[in-house]
Amino acid sequence: AQKVTQTQTSISVMEKTTVTMDCVYETQDSSYFLFWYKQTASGEIVFLIRQDSYKKENATVGHYSLNFQKPKSSIGLIITATQIEDSAVYFCAMREEDSSFSKLVFGQGTSLSVVP
Amino acid sequence: NAGVIQTPRHKVTGKGQEATLWCEPISGHSAVFWYRQTIVQGLEFLTYFRNQAPIDDSGMPKERFSAQMPNQSHSTLKIQSTQPQDSAVYLCASSFSDRVGNTLYFGEGSRLIVV
């Protein structure tokens, strides 16, 4: 069964610095999709970035990028030049290609605080 | 473009009463998902629909919970005889299709409090 683990419960960083959030996953499938979402203070869950397992190149969107290490089953989220408004809870999630249905499984989340 | 719309945003209900939550998916999206979020369990999958048809409800509590999608523009999650442990944020998401490569887009959630 698929499983997603985020071991960092909370992180605090100074504004304008770079932060990396860790995520490891378990799957028996050779093809899968990894996603990062951000949950704001209002509760809204916003899609940020994704990595397809068959792609070797790390995904990048704006100031978000991924560190995909397939042999380690790891998908880290890197936020560069952090801003106060990046403060939120970040969730890693996975969907397996070969599942009989396409359930998205989430990690427990990492709370990020960006301070001035 | 409007995102996923969920109503009500907040609902307080007495123990034993019924609660119905509504979701309007993004227009053109054929897959609709329901999740529940609590501090203890995190984000849990409940059920999903493809083209209005229920496909998987493996995450739904077997009693008291039901979900429907009567048309392509809305889905409902109904909880009968609510209990305090049903207190949670219920999130609806939609995607263009339910193929695994598709991204889910979430609504802002409905916070249910059972007193």
Q: Do A45 and B109 touch (CB under 8 A)?
A: yes
Q: Which residues contact B61 (CB under 8 A, 6 or more apart)?
A: none
Strand duo B10-13 + B110-114: pairing = parallel
Best B9, B11, B34, B43 residue to mutate vs chain A (most A CBs within 10 Å): B43
Alpha-carbon A105 to chain mean position:
12
Q: Which residues of B touch A33 (CB under 8 A)?
A: 100-101
Question: How do residues A71-104 score in pLDDT, each as one tens digit?
Answer: 999 999 999 999 999 999 999 999 887 655 567 8
pLDDT at A96: 80
Question: How do residues A49-58 score in pLDDT, each as one tens digit?
Answer: 999 999 999 9
CA A38 – CA A87 distance, rounded (Å): 9
The dihedral through the CA atoms of B65, B32, A70, A13 has a sign that is negative
Q: Which residues of B touch A96 (CB under 8 A)?
A: 100
Q: Nearest to residue B32, comparing CAs of B56, B8, B9?
A: B56
Nearest-by-Cβ selection for B42 from A47, A101, A109: A109
